Amino acid sequence: MTASRFVDVLRQWRCSWFVSLAFLLAGLAASAQEKTPPQTKPSAPTPVAVEAKPAETPVADATDPKLAKIFAGSNPTGTADLKLMQDHIRKVTARLQAATVGVQVGAAQGSGVIMNKEGFVLTAAHVSGQPKRRVEFQLADGRKLVGETLGLDRSTDGGLMKITEGKDFPHLEMGDSSTLREGQWVLATGHPGGFQPDRKPVLRLGRLLLVERTVLTTDCTLVGGDSGGPLFDMEGRIIGINSRIATPLTANMHVPINTFKETWDRMAKGEAWGHFPGQEPYLGVRGEKDAKNAKIAHIFPGSPAEKAGLKVGDVIEKFGDHDITDFPSLSSHVQERQPGDKIKLKVKRGEESVDLRLTLGKRGE
């Protein structure tokens, strides 16, 4: 199916299980050339989930062994397998759509997923933009509700929002992205092209192509407007958030769900950190080798550090509100900022304590 044809299908088909069936039929055609799914790299240790944050909605009933084997990475081998897959997807579709929301922040539209009854919504950082912005949520049942953006991690592209009116929202359970394997079948929902009142969230079927700690790649066909929408395992658990949509519409990136668990407290407090791809912040210093503190050994000409008045031999003791213990800790805090951020530094220069202010640059400029 070509990319242009798929976009036409999205606009014409209104019942999401038809979309799933179309992909199932494509899977059957490919089964004659079945390949063994690639082996995944060793998974990172399972992060500790945040207490009481995942929803408690039960997932679909356990599938029969044959279907479980297919979902784990095999190809369907005939129409009977396709029927099993189709029936299972029909059972979970309504729940997935009910928790998938359209979001509008300013003039920008995207998607999200409700992950608990209190109305917390997972989305992409590039959809939420900044903390404390007004959001309009469009629920699958037709309700329009308002809320606000909370925290975001630009480096992984994870964002958090909250619906601030209403209660007891339809929601879905968070899965565990550390247990995922390349080749698994997955489902993605969202609002391709933006929310349309005569169309429920559109369901796409695909497979995991790459599993890493900070990114998942699938062949679920996504287009603009799907950003921030959820990626599910075949039992309906949230395993990722739609992030970067590739030029080939069938090689897309998703934020693994465990990155949200690891950063939940910061996001819930409304913190924003990290930088988007191609926006790496630049300070322009090199630390003294083997030093037990953040002592500066070299300052690059024309860098933000030089413009701010830093000197070789200075020891950076504070970066913004953060105490700096060594050069790696300095580098870590720089990487959590964005080009253009204005930072206050506390520097030890000989026996003196000096306060400086600088504006971070962008690497490569």
3-state DSSP assignment of residue 46: coil
**Is residue 160 exposed (0-12), middle (13-18) or buried (19+ Cβ within 10 Å)?**
buried
- CATH number of this structure's domain 281-362, picked from the four choices 2.60.40.10, 3.20.20.140, 3.10.129.10, 2.30.42.10: 2.30.42.10
d(CA 256, CA 180): 10
Q: Dump pLDDT digits (tens) for 125-157.
A: 999 999 999 999 999 999 999 999 999 999 999
Answer yes or no: is pLDDT of 58 > 70.
no
**Cα dist from 197 to 138, 139, 147, 194, whole Å:** 9, 10, 20, 10
pLDDT confidence of 285, banded at 50, 70, 90?
A: very high
187 touches 210 (CB < 8 A): no
Domain with CATH 2.40.10.120 in the chain: 13-273
Between 36 and 333, whose confidence is greater? Answer: 333
- CATH number of this structure's domain 13-273, picked from the four choices 3.90.180.10, 2.60.40.180, 2.40.10.120, 3.20.20.10: 2.40.10.120
Domain with CATH 2.30.42.10 in the chain: 281-362
Please state the φ and ψ torsions of residue 127, each to the nearest 5 degrees: -85, -45
Please state the φ and ψ torsions of residue 256, each to the nearest 5 degrees: -60, 140
**Looking at residues 174-196, what average pLDDT do you find?**
95
pLDDT confidence of 231, banded at 50, 70, 90?
A: very high
Instruction: Give CA torsion, residues 284, 290, 294, 297, to 10 deg.
Output: -40
d(CA 123, CA 153): 11
Q: Which pLDDT does position 247 carry in this prediction?
A: 72
d(CA 27, CA 32): 9
Please state the φ and ψ torsions of residue 307, each to the nearest 5 degrees: -65, -30
Answer yes or no: is pLDDT of 212 > 60.
yes
Least confident of 176-190, 236-250, 252-266: 236-250
93 touches 16 (CB < 8 A): yes
Cβ neighbours, 10 Å, residue 93: 21
**β-strands 272-273, 144-153 pairing:** parallel
d(CA 280, CA 339): 7
Q: Which pLDDT does position 263 carry in this prediction?
A: 96
Q: Which pLDDT does position 63 carry in this prediction?
A: 62
Q: Dump pLDDT digits (tens) for 288-324.
A: 988 999 999 999 999 999 999 999 999 999 999 999 9
Answer yes or no: is pLDDT of 11 > 50.
no
d(CA 15, CA 241): 22
Please state the φ and ψ torsions of residue 46, each to the nearest 5 degrees: -65, 120
